[in-house]
Amino acid sequence: MYPPKFEYYRASSVAEALALKQQHGGKFLAGGHSLIPVMNLRLADPGVVIDIGRLSGLKGISRENGTVRIGALTTHAMVAASADVPQALAEAAALIGDPQVRNRGTVGGNVSHADPASDLPTVFTALGATFHLQTAAGTRQVAAADFFTGLFETALGEDELLLAVTVPANPGGSAYKKLSNPASRYAMVGAAAVVSGSSATVAVGGLTPHARRCPSVEAAWAGGSGVEAAAAAVLNDLGDDILGDIHASADYRRQMAVVYVKRALAAAQSRAG
Summarize pLDDT for 203-236 with one digit per residue, the tens: 999 999 999 999 999 999 999 999 999 999 999 9
Task: Tell me the pLDDT band of 94, cut-offs 50, 70 and 90.
Answer: very high
> Would you say residue 117 lies in a domain?
yes
Q: Are 264 and 253 in contact (CB under 8 A)?
A: no
With vertex at residue 271, the alpha carbon angle to CA 199 and CA 217, rounded to the nearest 5 degrees, is 35
Using the predicted structure, report yes or no on whether residue 1 has a pLDDT greater than 80: no
Number of neighbours of residue 22 by Cβ within 10 angstroms: 13
pTM over 0.75: yes
- Same domain, yes or no: 69 and 42: no
Write down the H helix ranges in the chain. 14-24, 35-40, 76-81, 87-94, 99-104, 107-113, 120-127, 144-147, 215-222, 227-232, 250-272
- Same domain, yes or no: 138 and 159: yes
Mean pLDDT confidence for 109-126 = 96
- Our CA dihedral for 256, 99, 170, 187, rounded to 10 degrees, sits at -20
- Same domain, yes or no: 181 and 237: yes
> Would you say residue 1 lies in a domain?
no
- Same domain, yes or no: 98 and 199: no
Helix axes 120-127, 87-94, angle to 10 degrees: 170
The Cα-based distances of 272 to 86, 125, 129, 135, 208 in angstroms read 12, 19, 19, 39, 28
Task: Tell me the pLDDT band of 78, cut-offs 50, 70 and 90.
Answer: very high
- Same domain, yes or no: 208 and 133: no
Task: Tell me the pLDDT band of 3, cut-offs 50, 70 and 90.
Answer: confident
- Same domain, yes or no: 77 and 160: yes
- CA 146 to centroid of chain Cα atoms: 13
- Residue 143 is part of which domain span? 59-168
> Would you say residue 2 lies in a domain?
no
Count of domains observed in the chain: 3
pLDDT at residue 44 in the model: 87
Q: Are 210 and 149 in contact (CB under 8 A)?
A: yes
Give the pLDDT confidence of 150-194 residue by residue, as tens digits. 999 999 999 999 999 999 999 999 999 999 999 889 999 999 999
> Would you say residue 178 lies in a domain?
yes
Report how far residue 215's alpha carbon sits from residue 193's, in angstroms, rounded to the nearest whole number.
12
What sign does the CA torsion over 5, 48, 158, 128 have?
A: positive
pLDDT at residue 34 in the model: 84
Using the predicted structure, report yes or no on whether residue 32 has a pLDDT greater than 90: no
Residues 6+ apart with CB under 8 A from 96: 76, 102, 105, 110, 119, 120, 185
Residues 6+ apart with CB under 8 A from 170: 66, 86
pLDDT at residue 273 in the model: 81
- Residues paired with 241 in a beta bridge: none
pLDDT at residue 269 in the model: 98
Q: Please give the sequence-ordered ranges of beta strands (E in DSSP) within 172-214, or none if there are none.
A: 173-180, 187-196, 199-205, 212-213
Residues 6+ apart with CB under 8 A from 55: 11, 12, 13, 14, 17, 73
Using the predicted structure, report yes or no on whether residue 126 has a pLDDT greater than 80: yes
> Would you say residue 202 lies in a domain?
yes
- Same domain, yes or no: 94 and 146: yes
pLDDT at residue 217 in the model: 98
> Would you say residue 84 lies in a domain?
yes
> Would you say residue 128 lies in a domain?
yes
- CA 211 to centroid of chain Cα atoms: 8
Using the predicted structure, report yes or no on whether residue 253 has a pLDDT greater than 90: yes
pLDDT at residue 222 in the model: 97
Mean pLDDT confidence for 251-255 = 98
